[in-house]
Amino acid sequence: MSSTTTTSTSAFQQQPYSNNNNNNNNSTTILDSTTTTTTPTLYSFALRKALSYYYKANQHIRYYLPYASEFGATQITPNLWLGDISDAMNVPHLNKNSISHIVTCVKSLKPFYPEEGFNYLNLHLYDQSDESIGHEIFQESFEYIDQAIQNGNNVLVHCMKGRSRSASILIAYLMRKNGWTYRETLKFVQQKRSIVQPNEGFERQLLELEKKLSSLQNSSNLQSIDDDTVEWSR
């Protein structure tokens, strides 16, 4: 824009304003030439923006349309399901599978059907390698899922594709619940849902979680041994 403005200003400086016809014609020519140089640039920019908008809108429509006849969520354990965003919108199949609790792992996505009686936990996550899940999210999601299952409810964990974000949260839950390593848990989940693959950043965090859980488990075992020793000595 700055180069266009400079060109336009220098042209008017070379052709001072006058009321005679010749100068009016020249002025028109100058304006036309200026328009000719700027319009394609603005038009191309606007066109690119419009095409980008409609492409993104099409992608969102493809993801957000509820598929009443399809349910692609995968049952990982008797009470725990992993799926994509369309599964979270599929009320008939959610009800059919007695899924009442939904963990949403998508940034700034509001609950779809709270009025239908579904219970939601929203974890605002981007699927990016530098996204931090953090202890608080691991803890909150574990407690939510575990409490729901212990109360006899079925839980769906989902993101956009059911591949990275939601898979990471579900894997973290199973690691802690069963005392499994990350690799063991990943293999178990992939056998149920082959597309599962946490991004590199999530993998690093899950491996760190594995170390922390292992350390806590060892500390717990040592504490149990100490307690037993005290009990035996009485």
pLDDT of residue 70: 75
pLDDT of residue 187: 98
pLDDT of residue 140: 97
Confidence class for position 217, pLDDT limits 50, 70, 90: confident
Separation of CA 165 from chain center = 6
172's CB contacts (< 8 A; 6+ apart) are: 133, 138, 141, 142, 206, 209
Q: Give dist(CA 42, CA 47) in Å, integer.
A: 8
* 136-150: pLDDT as tens digits: 999 999 999 999 999
Above 60 in pLDDT, residue 52?
no
Confidence class for position 57, pLDDT limits 50, 70, 90: very low
Active-site option among 159, 171, 189, 196? 159
pLDDT of residue 181: 97
pLDDT of residue 71: 81
Confidence class for position 49, pLDDT limits 50, 70, 90: low
Above 50 in pLDDT, residue 92?
yes
pLDDT of residue 40: 52
Give the chain's end-to-end CA distance (angstroms, integer): 87
Cβ atoms within 10 Å of 210's Cβ, excluding its own: 19
**Of 67-81, 95-109, 183-197, where does mean pLDDT reach its minimum?**
67-81
The CATH number assigned to the domain with range 74-224 reads 3.90.190.10
* 2-16: pLDDT as tens digits: 333 333 333 334 444
> Average pLDDT, whole number, for the chain?
77
Active-site annotation holds for 159: yes
Mean pLDDT of 76-104: 96
pTM summary value: 0.67
C-alpha neighbours within 13 Å on the C-beta side of residue 171 = 33
Overall residue count recorded for the chain in this entry: 234
Mean pLDDT of 149-164: 98
β-bridge pairing 119-122 and 80-83: unpaired
Above 70 in pLDDT, residue 65?
no
